[in-house]
A = this chain, B = another copy of it.
């Protein structure tokens, strides 16, 4: 399978986040905290907000963001059919340009469900 594996993504993401933290840029660090906080339980449950993050990442066509939110969605207990149903909303909103990212999401989902 020639596409970037989930393992490679995790390793690169981890190294990259460390570099971001080393910058000591206050605004940047605050944004990263705010980003984490946005998916915590609030008026909506964390679980629902992870699904919103997945749909938003799909229509903006960012594979790294899709992988991150897919992992959170699987951890939150969504099953394959529910995730595919969310991906379908993103496909309809975003059109065929989303299809390569849909294929990518399917590869990642297989890896996540196999873990």
> Which residues on A are within 8 Å of B, measured CB to CB?
1-4, 8, 11-13, 15-17, 19-20, 23, 25, 27-28, 30-32, 34-35, 37-39, 42-44, 48-49, 51-53, 55-62, 64-65, 79-82, 84-100, 102-104, 106-107, 110
Given A48-B48, A64-B100, list of 7 further CB < 8 A pairs?
A2-B11, A13-B103, A17-B103, A27-B88, A43-B85, A51-B52, A92-B96
CB pair A65–B100 under 8 Å, yes or no, is: yes
Copies in the complex: 6
Q: Is the interface of A mostly helix, strand, loop or mixed?
A: helix
Residues of B within 8 A of A110 (CB): 19
